[in-house]
Amino acid sequence: MISQEEQKKYNDWVFQISAYQMALALISIDKMTVAPPAGGPYRDARTAWLSGEKFSLETDPEMFRLLARMKDDPDLDGDTRRAAFLNWQKAARTVCIPKDEFVASEELLNQAYDAWLRAKMADDYSIFRPYLEKIIENKKRFYGFRGSSASIYDQMLDDNEPGMNEAKYDAFFADVKARLIPLIQRISAVSPIDDSFLHRFYPAAQQKKFTNEHLLPYLRYTPDWGYQNETEHPFTYWTCEDDCRTTTKYLENSVTSSLFSTIHEVGHATFEHNIDPKYDGTILAEGVSAAMHESQSRLCENYLGRTTAFWEANFPALQKEFPEQLGGVTVQQFVRASNAAVPGLLRTEADELTYPLHIVIRYEIEKDLFDGRIGTEDLEQVWNEKYREYLGVEVPNSRDGILQDVHWSEGSFGYFPTYALGSAYAAQIVHKMRQDIDVDEALRSSRYDICMNWLKENVHHYGCRYDAPEIIRRATGEEFNWNYYLDDLEEKYTRLYQL
């Protein structure tokens, strides 16, 4: 039995952690958008200290014992037991790490982001490599503290998506490669889709005007709860359900880059905004699995944002903003070009069909890094070889190759596979959504909110009250089945290219 005094102590503890999380999130947003780089060392040291104070709270021995009791207390409601379990599990994974080493690691990660950004701007992997080496060493050391019999990379995969491991991802990616690589090869043998008009000169200021005045309102991403900024690598952060921040990046030679980036990131933000408000400030709101979160951003980007119905509502305004670039283009031509399968260098710019191969490359590299088969000195060469093997493209520089993604500078290993897994979740979810509501009519009539309300009711509001497989079961009435994803890609691209 948990006493009233213990319940109050728990509630105060949850509030204190949420306060630190809010402060750290706002500092991170500022760092990656508008903060002057010269102030980095000062900010990084103090941010690491704040992270250390949060770490002390999360691993407090007295609270750890209380959480252990709460997670199994039948007198508590299911939400409280689930939250206690997740907090206890999180503490159990980190309590073994010495605080001074944790703080030093946090400062390293802050420095690594700065180094990654410098390296990318300078097109020089050697600037970032020493930081990456230290991050990997720290990860191996910290996971070693757990004393788990599972491999380090299996533990990383499970941390990002509970229940997933190398064996399960290997089976998934084996099917991805077996079914999609031949399709990509068949497409490469036919006449390409003309997408040249997407790469004319599109001034960033006008792109931003269209996004702010038309696209964001269409997506129901309103200033009372959302805000969009710009950064080198688009991301979404949130402090609570009513404060969700997204970023995008405007490329003046690619009008669709910022468009689909915005739709993707607003998908993340909408998920957070729609979580049951009673979970605000608790781990039930901020602990959603990575693949479930990516399922919602990928669903919005690809299964809604790349449809003809979506652009029937939005293309006239885009065409009006760019009459010279798009004046002679039809909505059908725009949608067809936006879905063209063209193997390329950049994951974030990739089409639906080639995208999962970008994930396969990162997954295989991460496995080899943590299994000791390759080191950071081999990384760029291995990266370039895999891009040649899987996508048939030559990597001309570090900026568009090994340095293109921010994730490793943040220590986010085991995260990349969730992009592909999330896409597979999305395919199954949208299949059921289309059975329940007229998705195309909602998009065509600028009622994007109808789709979001369905997702809110069937996916978003749960937060992480349930794990991803259970949310899939509740939303679709079936166990997870990645064939929805592969079947959809095969059908779409066979039809698009008339194979």
What pLDDT is attached to residue 469? 96
Task: Locate the domains of the chain by residue range.
Answer: 4-149, 166-496
Distance CA(426)–CA(300), nearest Å, equals 9
What pLDDT is attached to residue 499? 87
For 131-148, what is each residue's pLDDT tens digit?
999 999 999 999 999 999
Average pLDDT over residues 135-163: 96
Please give the structure tokens belonging to residue 215.
């696209």
Distance CA(428)–CA(225), nearest Å, equals 29
CATH class assigned to 166-496: mainly alpha
Mean pLDDT over the full length of the chain: 96
Residue given tokens 């004046």 in the structure block: 327
How many angstroms separate the Cα of 392 from the Cα of each of 129, 135, 190, 194, 427? 26, 31, 16, 20, 27
Please give the structure tokens belonging to residue 96.
């073994």
Is 73's pLDDT higher than 80? Answer: yes
User: Among 106, 166, 241, 265, which one carries the catalytic annotation?
Assistant: 265
Cβ count near 147 (within 10 Å): 7
Pairing mode of beta strands 226-230, 243-248 = parallel
Residue 287 vs residue 485, higher pLDDT: 485
What pLDDT is attached to residue 286? 84
Distance CA(326)–CA(336), nearest Å, equals 14
For 243-277, what is each residue's pLDDT tens digit?
999 999 999 999 999 999 999 999 999 999 999 99
Is 357's pLDDT higher than 90? Answer: yes
Is 287's pLDDT higher than 80? Answer: no
Long-range contacts of 41-45 (CB under 8 A, 24+ apart): 41/111, 43/110, 44/107, 44/110, 44/111, 44/114, 45/107
Distance CA(368)–CA(382), nearest Å, equals 10
3-state DSSP assignment of residue 484: helix
The answer to whether 6 is a known catalytic residue is no
Average pLDDT over residues 428-444: 98
Q: Which residues, listed in sequence order, are joined to residue 226 by a DSSP beta bridge?
A: 244
Q: Indicate the pLDDT class of residue 288, thresholds 50, 70 and 90.
A: confident
